[in-house]
Amino acid sequence: MKIDDLRLLLDDMSIEEKIMQLVQLPGAVYESGAAVTGLSDLSLFEKYKKLAGSLLGVRGADKVKAIQDEYMAAHPHHIPLLFMLDVIHGHDTVFPCPLGQGATFEPEVSRKGAAIQAKEAAADGIQVTFSPMVDLVRDARWGRVVESTGEDPYLNGEMASAMVKGYQGDSVSDKEHLASCVKHFAGYGASEAGRDYNSVELSEYTLRDKYLKGYKKAIEAGAKLVMSSFNTLNGIPSSGNKWLMRDVLRDEMGFEGVLISDWGAIGEMVPWGFAKDLKDAARLAIEAGVDIDMCTESYAANLKDLIESGDIDVKLLDEAVFRILNLKNELGLFEDPYHGASMERYEEIRLSKESREVARDAVRKSLVLLENRDDTLPIKEKKIALIGPYAAEKNLHSSWALSLDPEKTVTLMEAAGESDDVNLFIGMNQGISASANRDKVVRVAKGSTILDNDSTTVIGTYTNDNFDDENASLLCEAIEVSEWADTVVLCLGEGIGQSGESTSKTNITLPEIQMELFYEMRRRAKKLITLIFTGRPLDFEHIPELSDALLICWRPGTEGGHGIWDILTGRFSPSGKLPMSLPYTVGQAPVYYNAFATGRPKPTVGQSSFTTRYLDCPNEARYPFGYGLTYSKFEISKVELSGHAISKASGNTITASVTVTNTGVTAATQTVQLYLRDMVATRVRPVKELKGFKKIRLLPGESGTVSFEINEEMLEFWTLDNKFDSECGEFKVFIGFDSTTDNEAEFILDI
C-alpha cells in the first residue's frame, strides 16, 4: 500500500480502531495451544479480540490463516493482524543459545542461523520475532544471560547486527523473513543483584559507553521493532522513560520503527510506584512513545478517556498507529495477510538436512575448550564411556526454544551410535547398533538425575519419591561402566529450567547429585573428560583441576550431539572463545574483563595489602573473556604498527599487525582479538576494550598475518561534554588470543 493510502486509512479509522491497533493480546485468547510467556488473566482480553492489532504466541500456518481471515472479515477496515513470537535461537531447527553463538566470535554463524529460523517461523505463520536480545551481561546470577551474546559491547553489536540481517534479509515483505525486535531496551542486563525484573542504576557514562552500543548496532542494521524493558533505569521504568525512548532511541539513534512494551511492562509501572493506576500508566507510556501495549489492558481501557479528556494529544495516538500500520505495510500484509505462511512449505523446509548442517557447524564453533591436559582430547582410546544426565538428554535447547520437538534433537549418545567407527551399548549391554568394522566401543550410563530432589525449576518442582533409590542404581551402573572404560566423557549441566526468564540464582554450582557423580567418576576414570551444558557461567568448584579435559557446550540445540561428537573425536578442532567471564565463585559477580584499573591495582606478584582485592579469591575471572583452547598450539608475533600517531584532524589510521603461527600438529582456527586502552582521559577508561576480532585457520606449521585498522572512532568514549569524542594522548594496542594478552604496542592520538 502506498504511504499516502496508509495515511488515508489512518484518517478514516475510528478512535476505537486506532486504540486497538496498539493492543497486543496473548495468543492463548484465540488458541489454547499458543505460547504463554508472561503473567496474564486471559479472561481480561476476550472483549478486545475483535479489534486488537496483534497477537503473541500463535503459530501454525493454518491456525494463523483462520484467525487472520476471521479477524479481517470482522474488522471495519479489514486491517490485518500481526503475529509475533520469540524465535530467539531456533524455531524447528534450534541453534546454540545466543550465549553459545557469542562464543563463536563469528557473526556469520548467527546471520545464517537467524535466516533459517526466519524461514521456518515465517512458513509457520510468524511475522515478527522478539530477537535479538542485546542486553550486555556481567552477572551470572541472572538467568537471562543465556539469551545474550555476552559482556562486550563490540561483540554484542556484531552478533546482534548479524541476527537482524538474518531475520530480515533484504526485505521483511519476503515470505522467508521476519521483522526483528531488538530487546530489552535498555540496560536490563544490569538488573541489581542479578535478580530478574529488578532496578538498574547506571551512570549515563556506563549506560552509553557499554550498555547502549549493542542495541544501537542492531538498530543501525535496520531492526523494525524495539522492546521496552521491565527494569527501571535510575528510577524510571523503561516503558515510561521519555528521555530513553524519545530523546535517545528515536531522536539520537534515529529509530522510526515500532516500540513495543515487554509483557505487562506498561501495567507494571503501577507496582513500581511510578503510575497511580493503569490509566496513569497508559498516559506515561504513550507519552514515552510506546506504540504497542503487550498483554495488559492499559491502553485498551484508558486511551479513549485520556484523549477525550485532553490529558493526551490525539497526535500521540496517531503517530503510534501510523508506525504500526507502516510495519504491517512493510511486511506486505495488506497484499498478503498470511505473509506467505504455508503448512505445505513449512513441512517441506523444517529441519532440513541443510539446516541441520548449518546448526551442526554452529555447535562445533560454539564449544569452548577450557582444559585439555596432555592432549586428552580428541579421544584416542577404544573403550569410551558416555556418562551423566546429559549423555542421552534430548533437552539440549534453552527454555526459550518454544516451538521445537525435542525428539528431533540429536543427543551425544545418538551421535556416537551413528558414528561409523563405534559399537554402541546403552547401559548394561543393550545394543543400538553394532557392526564388526568399528574400532571404538561406547557404553552409556546416566549416572544421576539432572536436579537434586528438592530443586525447583521454571518447569516445575522436581519431586521424585524414589529419588534416592533411583540415583543409587544410576550411580552403581555408572561406576561399573566407568571402570570398564579407557576414557570417561562425563556430561553434566544445569537443568533447562535453571536459566532463562525469572531464573536468577544465588548459587551457580552444579546440583549436588551431579557433583557426587563427578567425584565418583574422578576416583575411577582412567581419563576424565567433563562436558558442561549450561545457559550461564557456573562455579565449577574443583571440576577444572580434577578433569583431564573440560569443554563448555552451552545449550547447543538440535544438532548438539553431532557437533559435540565431531569435536570429541577430532573431526574438527574446537575454536570457541568465552563471550562472558567465568568466575571462581558467585561472590565475584559481576566480574568482567573491561573493568577499570582502580587507584590501587592489585600487583600480580608480591604484597597486596591495601590494594583492591578479596582475601579469599582472585580479582580476575577463573577463565577470562575471549579465552578458549584449540587442539593445536599457536604463537603470535609482537604487534607491528604502520605508524605511531593518529591525527584527529587528518583522520588517518594505523594498521596493527601480527603474525600467527600454528606450531602444533593439527589444523585449527584461532580467534585473534584486538584490544585498546586509553591510558589517560577525563574519565577513567577500561584496562582493555575489544575493538576487533578475526578468525584464522592454519595448518600445522603454517603462518598467517592478521591486521586491524585502528581509527579515531575506536578511541571515542562518552566524555564530560556528554558526547562521544576522543581525547589526544597515549594509547596501547593489544593483540592476542584472549583478553589477558600482554602482547602490546603504543601509539598516540594527536590533534
CA dist., res. 446 & res. 389, Å (int): 5
Indicate which single residue of 30, 48, 83, 130 sits in contact with ligand GLC (rule: CB under 6 A): 130
In the complex, minimum distance from the CB of residue 300 to ligand GLC, in angstroms, rounded to a whole number: 18
CB of residue 263 vs ligand GLC: minimum separation in angstroms? 4
Q: Give 522-550 as a DSSP string.
A: HHH-SSEEEEEE-SS----TTHHHH-SEE
> CB neighbours (10 Å) of residue 507?
10
We find the least distance from the C-beta atom of residue 353 to ligand GLC, in angstroms, to be 30
x-or-dash string of contact with ligand GLC, 348-387, rule CB under 6 A: ----------------------------------------
CB atoms within 10 A of CB 418: 15
| Residue placing its CB nearer to ligand GLC in the complex, 38 or 700 | 38
Does the footprint of ligand GLC cover residue 37 (CB under 6 A)?
yes
Residue with smaller CB distance to ligand GLC, 290 or 444: 290
Query: Of the two residues 28 and 391, which places its CB atom closer to ligand GLC in the complex?
Result: 28
580-618: string of b/e by CB count within 10 Å (b at 16+)?
A: bbbbbbbebbbbbbbbeeeeeebeeeeeeeeeeeeeeee
CA dihedral 579, 581, 585, 588 (to 10 degrees): -130
Collapse the DSSP code of 236 into the 3-class scheme (helix H, G, I; strand E, B; otherwise coil) and give the result. Answer: strand
Whole-number minimum distance, CB 241 to ligand GLC, in Å? 17
Minimum distance, C-beta of residue 391 to ligand GLC, in the bound complex (Å): 31
x/- mask, ligand GLC, residues 472-511, rule CB under 6 A, reads -----------------------------x----------
Residue number, 56 or 485, with CB nearest to ligand GLC: 56
Decide whether 86 or 620 has the Cβ nearer to ligand GLC.
Answer: 86
Asked whether the CA dihedral 276, 279, 280, 281 is positive or negative, the reply is positive
Which of the residues 262, 548, 566, 738 is marked catalytic?
Answer: 262
Residues contacting ligand GLC: total by CB under 6 A = 9
d(C-alpha 139, C-alpha 446), whole Å? 31
Complex with ligand GLC: residue 196 or 716, whichever CB lies closer? 196
Q: Closest Cα to residue 18, out of 291, 339, 265? A: 291
Closest to ligand GLC by CB, 24 or 161: 24
Residue of the chain from 263, 274, 565, 718 that contacts ligand GLC (CB under 6 A): 263
Alpha carbon distance 41, 508 (integer Å)? 33
Can residue 262 be called a binding residue for ligand GLC (CB under 6 A)?
A: yes
The Cα–Cα gap between 302 and 282 comes to: 7
| 338 binds ligand GLC per the rule CB under 6 A | no
How far apart CA 446 and CA 472 sit, in angstroms, is 11
Of 6, 38, 42, 318, the residue at the interface with ligand GLC (CB under 6 A) is: 38
Q: Which is nearer to ligand GLC, 48 or 230 (CB)?
A: 230
Give me the helices (H) in 25-144, please: 61-74, 98-104, 107-123
Percent of residues in the chain assigned helix, strand, coil, to nearest 5: 35, 20, 45
DSSP state of 738: S
Contact (Cβ atoms closer than 8 angstroms) between residue 331 and residue 172: yes
Q: How far is the CB of 404 from ligand GLC (least distance, A)?
A: 16
What secondary structure does DSSP assign to 132-154, as a single string?
-B------TTSGGGGGS--S-HH
Is residue 167 involved in binding ligand GLC (CB under 6 A)? no
Output 134 or 412, the one with its CB closest to ligand GLC: 134
Query: How far apart are CB 86 and ligand GLC at their closest, in Å?
Result: 5
Residue 480 belongs to what H/E stretch? helix 467-484
Q: Respond yes or no: is residue 262 known to be catalytic.
A: yes
Q: Please give the helix or strand (H or E) that residue 396 lies within, else none.
A: none
Q: Is 678 in the site for ligand GLC (CB under 6 A)?
A: no
Binding to ligand GLC, residues 44-103 (CB under 6 A): 56, 86
- Confirm or reject binding of residue 183 to ligand GLC (CB under 6 A): yes
- Can residue 241 be called a binding residue for ligand GLC (CB under 6 A)? no
559: contact with ligand GLC by CB under 6 A: no
Q: Which three cell numbers stand for residue 15?
A: 478512535
Nearest approach in angstroms of CB 24 to ligand GLC is: 9
139 binds ligand GLC (CB under 6 A): no
Rounded to the nearest whole angstrom, what is the least distance from the CB of residue 579 to ligand GLC in the complex? 19
Binding site for ligand GLC (CB under 6 A): 37-38, 56, 86, 130, 183, 262-263, 501
Show which residues are catalytic: 262
